[in-house]
């Protein structure tokens, strides 16, 4: 039987999972669930490669993952099979056959994340898992100004939760767009790669700017400090979405 490299486009509600990546013997990860279903499909242990290792509680609108599968099924049949057996908080939007050499993570040239903040005093009942309820008004103009300082190629060590020991912490952030609709502020962050917790620390720092606790100009000092303590808090996982993987 032919072995096909299948690329999946995935959406998930990360609320009840320990993140994307399998860790030790916990199966309660998105990767773990997908591997279970694909192993069932082929009858052999499947290995799934994901583009972004989203943390516990983080969601995805457009995660990309691939797996080499020995199956006679068409892409359409694989897609239907996967959606029949995946839990209802994980959905495969597409399943496409790609070149044998395609690797979701290694071939990715960038990613887009969204971070959603609600300024409303009361939490939204039906959106509560998908937004960070701040309950305070943000100065989005100041946040946009601060975003300019953070855009570009920098050493983002201050925005990294300290797992990166010897590896480079230089990344390029192409865009941080701040938009507002009603009481909801949305940050859209596009970059070539992100350090551990980087988007959540960027979001937390920009929230502190929006609250007037930091100035837009102080972003420069944070970058120069090259230590986690210089930056703002880590915004909660529930507001974060991996929106798109760029190739």
For a copy of itself, the closer of residues 89 and 186 by Cβ is 89
Pick from 83, 107, 137, 169 the residue near a copy of itself by CB under 8 A: 83
| 75 forms part of the interface with a copy of itself (CB under 8 A) | no
Pick from 40, 70, 74, 93 the residue near a copy of itself by CB under 8 A: 93
| 118 forms part of the interface with a copy of itself (CB under 8 A) | no
| 181 forms part of the interface with a copy of itself (CB under 8 A) | no
Task: Decide if 118 is catalytic.
Answer: no
x/- string (CB under 8 A) for a copy of itself, residues 55-74?
----x---------------
For a copy of itself, the closer of residues 19 and 210 by Cβ is 19
- The CA dihedral of 176, 169, 66, 107, to the nearest 10 degrees, is 80
- What are 64's strand-pairing partners? 9
Which phi and psi (to 5°) does residue 75 adopt?
Answer: -60, -40
Pick from 34, 90, 112, 134 the residue near a copy of itself by CB under 8 A: 90
Pick from 56, 73, 91, 246 the residue near a copy of itself by CB under 8 A: 91
Pick from 122, 163, 166, 167 the residue near a copy of itself by CB under 8 A: 122
Which residues sit at the interface with a copy of itself, rule CB under 8 A? 11-13, 59, 83, 88-91, 93, 122-123, 125-126, 128, 130
């Amino acid at each position: 039987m032919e072995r096909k490299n299948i690329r999946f486009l995935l959406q998930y509600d990360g609320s009840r999972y320990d993140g994307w990546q399998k860790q030790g013997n916990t199966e309660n990860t998105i990767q773990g669930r997908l591997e279970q279903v694909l192993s069932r499909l082929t009858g052999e242990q499947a290995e799934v490669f994901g583009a972004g290792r989203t943390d516990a509680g983080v969601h995805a609108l457009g995660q990309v993952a691939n797996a080499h599968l020995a199956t006679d099924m068409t892409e359409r049949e694989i897609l239907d099979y996967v959606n029949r057996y995946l839990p209802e908080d994980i959905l495969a939007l597409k399943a496409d056959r790609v070149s044998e050499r395609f690797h979701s993570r290694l071939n990715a040239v960038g990613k887009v994340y969204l971070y959603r903040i609600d300024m409303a005093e009361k939490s939204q009942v039906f959106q509560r898992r998908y937004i960070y309820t701040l309950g305070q008004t943000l100065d989005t103009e100041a946040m946009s100004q601060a975003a300019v300082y953070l855009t570009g190629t920098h050493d983002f060590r201050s925005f990294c939760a300290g797992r990166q020991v010897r590896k480079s912490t230089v990344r390029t952030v192409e865009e941080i767009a701040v938009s507002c609709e009603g009481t909801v502020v949305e940050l859209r962050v596009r970059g070539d790669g992100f350090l551990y917790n980087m988007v959540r620390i960027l979001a937390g720092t920009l929230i502190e700017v929006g609250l007037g606790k930091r100035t837009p100009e102080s972003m420069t000092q944070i970058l120069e400090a090259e230590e986690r303590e210089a930056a703002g808090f880590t915004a909660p996982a529930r507001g974060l979405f991996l929106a798109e993987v760029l190739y």
